[in-house]
Structure 1
């Protein structure tokens, strides 16, 4: 027989346990709700894991890496042929440089290739291209005035002399500078895993309004270069690429932005004025996807702001995938964009 005192203790203990469980149950419910709200505000659990430069789902692991977005400046003339490494870029931006030719800014983050190049110099235009994702520039160097402006913008530069850079003996200078991007990425590690902001407003095909048929594109930069595209087998194929066979950039979409072009304030070694793309403000936009074009406008409050896209009916979202961005001068500067069925 248990004593009365023992029965009292057991009863008290059971009562305390009952109250404790009830309290825990209440806390669990509150905690679940609170953690959901917290996750939503911080973007840790309630948001899907996607890559910032493509909008594609992360296949295991995390989109937060311990190196910044690496933006490599690549030559885009016949002398660069064959270009190496474009097939592994997340995104490419094509910009006007002196002499009416263009140069590429190839973005690497979700995949880091080995050898990439030819690596060429930076322009002031790159500030507006790189800063929205706090990217680091991989380059051969640049004019003193440009390097100063890029440094003042807080952009880190990796150039010849940094880990990974070398001269390819079978090519002639200045088209023989290459780099091992794996070594550059290692040198860029800061020990802090962080996911950059989305470069573009990502969505899906169902978000797109009805467009016009556009199986071919010609982006004319108003000088001696036009980039031609044809929609084939679900992607846009660059008809006059300098990439090595099998190493072409697989463009799911081509985004054309009409931009103002100013004067960078100095001449190149050949005496040509150096242009500067003004990648802020607003202008016309054309999104080419799945053989159609949707027309709208783009806006960017300042050089470091995210790109916003819209149509007359509202926001314009880009289907997740690999995007080639053409920064084509406005008509007053001689640029033009044409497309056909």
Structure 2
């Protein structure tokens, strides 16, 4: 159900979009922050929709109250103005993924062990319960080719498979003893990858999407790998390693480690995205409060973009190269951050 609420109107009145170009000192600046939007909720993940040029942002209201209605906020992709909100009922929204072909938004409710499928045309919500009790989900990815959605579950070590046509839970790909966190899907090769943070091997688990069988386990040798981005053309896997402050680059066929991109002491990379058109990797470095830009040919950091918030998730507009970043707020005992609970739009200027 699509709702224009009084809460939204209040949010629009109290928040504003800051439009400016944030320039670094010197002549070699390659980026500009063009808009910043404050949101009236805790900010977690976001996704850019190339079909309607909107940005959809997931995050529960402060306090994580399970008896309060929660929303997905809709931001205009041009200026980040809040244009509307979509209710998800009393389900707390954290993860988010989009099937662009079907225009269906999938929202993860970790505390309710469920996923919402939101039809963006009708605003109809379908709640998809987990297949097993005590599930605790984190990441969602959509396989548009097969109209399937995958969900990482570290409560019951597995990856859910959801049928996008009926929006129902199908089965789980299980790996007992694992700690499944991040996800990536390769539709053409029919593989789904999951990061396993259980031990120092830092395994990337490789499942066959047709059979659900575990085909391989690639070692990154960094403790607790987090998120995954894929280069589908060169078959490379990029993995953010928050504990070891690097991006590990793997050969998707053999699992061989191609390189480790060191991001600097206490960087703590979380979300990352690969820009195939410009051959760049963007990573959200939580502790450093920055987005790092990595040349995916040389595997060198070529820029650092301060966010003045705790960056979490990055989404890319592949046509323009624009990136959208969520910034979380500091914990309750820390000093408030200038850009806590915001979405930032960044333009990278081609040299």
TM-score by length of 2: 0.26
Q: Give the structure with the higher percent helix.
A: 1
Q: Give the structure with the higher percent strand.
A: 2
